[in-house]
Structure 1
Amino acid sequence: MTSLTCPVKVTRDELFCSRKKYPLSCTAKTQGNTVMSSHRVSVSTLVQIIEELESEEEEVILFACRDIASNTNLRELLSEVNEGTSHPVILELLYLLKRFDLIKKHFKISKLEVERLLKIHPRTISDYRYLIIELNEAIEEDELKSLMFLLKNELRNGGKLKNQTFLSLIVELEKNQLVMPSDLDLLEKLFQTIHRVDLKKKILKLQETGIIQGGPYINALPATASLHRISSSACSNTIPQIGAASNKGTTPVQDTLSQVGEHDERYLVRKQNMGFCVIIDCVGNDAEMLQLLFRSLHFIVQCHWYKKVDEVKEILQDVANMEQHKIHDVFLCVIISRGNSDSLFCLDEKSPGLSLDRIKNTFTGQTCPNLRGKPKLFFIQNYLVCDLEKRQRESAVEVDGPREDAACRQWVQNQSRIPNEADIFWSHCRVDELELQRSSGSTSLYLRSLRDLLNDKRIRKQRDLLNIHTELNHIIYTKQAGYALQLRHTLTKKLFLYPA
C-alpha cells in the first residue's frame, strides 16, 4: 500500500528550484508519446470523473479540499479547484484516491508520471489531510464506534453524525477546535485508548519531521491557549515511553514505577496515559469550564448535561466497564447536582436519589479491577434542597485518612494487599440550593477555585493533591460564602497532577 503521508519525497530546495525550472505548461513523455500535463481538465472530463467516483471517494475529496475550497457540492468544488489554482489538483486527488485507472483513462499518463508531476508542482493538499485520510483507511468499524462513544459528549447532537465515518468525525472535531494541524494530542490519546498505538505512532512520526504546521486553515479556528497542545519537542520526549510499552501499547503500572523518582511515595502519572475524566452537570453552570481544565491537564474528558438518576447510574456503570482504564494512570469524576447529605437528585424531583456511596462503590478495586492501585478522584458539588440539611451541614473542614470501614481495617492488617476502598480521593462540597437563585448562571465557588489552583502549573508541580486541597479549604472558608467542604481519602501515596 502506498503511503499517503509522503507519496513523493522532495526537499525544500528542490521545490524552490522546480518552480523556476519547469513552467506549468511542461510536457510529460511516456512511451514515446508526448502528453500535455496541464493542471486543468475540460468540463466534460470532470463530469466523467465525478460519475466514476464512489461515495466514499467523494467524501475523501471533500475532506482533502477543506483548506483550499469552500464548496461542499462535489462538482462545484472540483470546478473551483480546477479553475482556481495553478497546481494539478485533480491529478493529485486521483492519486490520493489511488484511482490510477482514471488517471490512465483521462490523462493518458502512468503513476510514475503523476509522481513526477507532484514533485515538479508541490502538493496542494496539506500533509495533515494526507495523514487523516491514511488513518481513515486504517480504522475498523468497531474502533470507530469506540471513538464515537468516547467523544459523544464533545460533539454537537451527542455525536450523532449524518455520516458515521471517521472523516465526518474529524470534521466535527475540527469545528469544535479539538483537532487541527498544530494540535493532534486528542487523536493520540484516543488511539492509545482503543489500543491502536500503530496509528498514534504515525502521528508522532510525522510530527517529528516538522512538516505538519499551522498554516492556512479556513474551516477551523485556532485552538485557544486553554486547550491541550503538543509540540514536536514534546513528541520526541515521549517516544521512549511509547517504545517501552507492550505490544498492546500499554505499560503495566508495576513495570514502570522505576521510571519515576520517589516511586515508593508518589503515584505514577504520565502525560500520554494521564487518565479518563467524566463530568456530569445536572445544573448546567460548570461543565464547560471543567472540560477545558481537565483537557488541558491531558485527561480524556466526557461530559454529560441534565441527566436523571437512572441515566447517571448507567453512565457511571458504562465508564466503570471501560477497558481503557488499563492504560490510564488516574480516574476522575465530577458531579454537580441538587441533593441531600446522602444522595444526589440529578433531574429527578420525586426519587430517593443517587446514593453517594453507590457512586464511589462503582469504581472500587473490586467492582472496577482495571483501576485497582490507581488514584480515583471524585469532586462533588451538592446543592442542598432542604433547610434542615442546611442547618445540619458541617461548618468545619473534615479531613480524614483511610476510613475505618471493613476494607480499610483489612488494609491496616495486611498492607501488602491493596483494599477495594484504597486510592480514593473524595472531595464533597455542600451549599444551599438558594445559592443558585442568588447567582443564576454563575459557576460554583468551589469548582471555580479548584480550576484556578489546578490551572497553575507551578502549584501542580510543587504540591501534591492533598496540599492543593488544603489551599482550596482556605479559599472556601475565607470567602465565608456558605459553602461547606468535606474531604475523605484513602490515598496511599502522594498524587501530583503533573506528568512525569
Structure 2
Amino acid sequence: MTRCQVPAFLIHQIQEELGKEEEEMMVFLCRDLAPDLANADLKEILLALNEREKLTPVGLSELLYRVKRFDLLRRILNTEKATVEAHLARSFRLIPDYRVLMVEINENLEKDEVGSLGFLLRDYAPRMKMAKDKSFLALIIDLEKLNLVAPNQLDLIENCFRSIHRIDLMRKIQTYKRKASLSSVHCQPVYVNAHPASLPNFNLIEPPYHSGIQNESMKKLQNGSSLTLAAAEPLHLSIEESGSVPHKMSDDSYRMQSQPLGICLIIDCIGNDTDVLEETFRGLGYEVHCHRYLNMSSMNQTLLEVARWQKHKTCDSFVCILVSRGNSQSIFCTDHTFSGFPLEQIKKYFTADSCPGLLGKPKLFFIQSYVVPENEQECTCLLEVDGNADNIRAKVTIPHTADIFWSHCKVDVSTLEQSPTAPSKYLRCLAELLRNPYKRKLCILAIHMELNKKVYDGNMTTDPSQQYSLLLQHTLRKRLFFPLDCC
C-alpha cells in the first residue's frame, strides 16, 4: 500500500472550497511536479502527488499560500500565514519561483490586457489557439509548449508587457531574471523567490515529513490539531495579501497596509443597516464608528470632529457611509425640516485642504438616500455648516478633490413605508461583495460594477416605484484593492 502523507479527506475538502480561477492557478503551480498529468484536474493531480510521496502537509500549505487562501490555511490546516512564510524562508520550497511569478502576474492583469497580450503573440505563435476567454496562465502554457517561454526564457513576455505599457510587470520579470542569473549553478537555472521577505529571528520545528515526526503530525491532522510548524512569536510581515498584490509595490495602486486601514464612519438615520456594515468594515480592518438617528446639527458636529482626528495621518484610507431620507442633493437626517444637509458639503469635510491627514489617500463614500417627493418637503432655511476651523491649506501638487470615490444610491421613500425594517438592497449587496474573498481580488471599480449588476438585476423583479438607481463618481488616481486576508 502506498504511503500517503496527506489524508484524502483534506484534499477533497480544500478542492471543494476553491473557485475555478484558484483551481487553475494551483494546477499551473503543480505543472512541473506532475508533467505527465498536464490535462488532469486539481484533485487528480494532488492525489497523484500524494501517492507518489511528493505532497506533504507543508507542501499543501504552500499551495494554499501561493493562491492566497489564508482562510483555508487556518480553518482546514490549522496553521497561520506567518508560519508558512517562515518555513518558505528557511526550507525547501515545493513550487518553483518561475511559476509563483507567473501566478502573481496573472492576478495582476485585467481581462482586456490579457486580450492585448494574445493579440501581440499572434506575431510569434500564429498557430496558437486564441480562445476569447483564455487566461494569462493558459497563454503561458501554450507558449511553453512552443518553447517560446521557459524559466530562463522570458524575453518575449517582457517585450509584450513593454508594448502594453505594463512597465511594473516588465520590471518584475527583469528582477527575477537578474536574481536567477546571480543564483545560477552550472547551466541549470535556479528558481529564486520573486518577493524575498526580511524575516525576524524565529525557531521552527522540523517539518512533518522528517522521520519520527510524520506519523505524529498525521494523527494531529486527523484530530483537527495544527501542523507541526510553529514560529516562536507572531511575525508581522509586509507580504502582499491582496488579489492584485504586485500593484501595491508600484505607483499604480494605493497603499492599503496600515493597521487599522482607516476610519469608517457610519451614520444611519434609518437604523436598518448599521450592524452588517459595522461587521463588514471591521472585518476589512477598519476602525468603525457608528452613529444612529442624528439630526442635522449632530451630523455637522460629528463630521467636523471626525475630519479633525489626527489618526488619519497613520491610516491608508477613509470610508464614510450615510443612510437617510433625502433628495438628490441633500440628506435630511431626523429633523423633518426637508431642506437637508448638502451632500457636497460632506465631501468637502474630508478633502485634503480640510483634512490634511487624508492627502493622497482614497476617501470612499457610500450614500443610501430614500428620496422624499418634492411636494412632501418643507421649505426651511439651510443649515449653516461650519468649515474647518483650522483652515489648513496643504501645499501639495495633488488636487484637493482627488482620491474620492462617491457611490450614491437612491430609492423612493415608499420602500421604507412598505418594509420599515428591511435593509437597503444596495448596502446588503455591497457588504456581501466585500466579505467575499474572491471578489476582494478585484479593484474597487470592478467591485462596484458587480454591485451595479446585482442591484439592477434585482430591479427586474421589482415594482418600478421600488427600484434602486446608482450613481458613481470618482477622482481616484490609482487602483484600490482591499486586503484579501480579512473578514
TM-score (norm 2): 0.44
Greater fraction helix: 1
TM-score (norm 1): 0.43
Larger Rg belongs to:
1
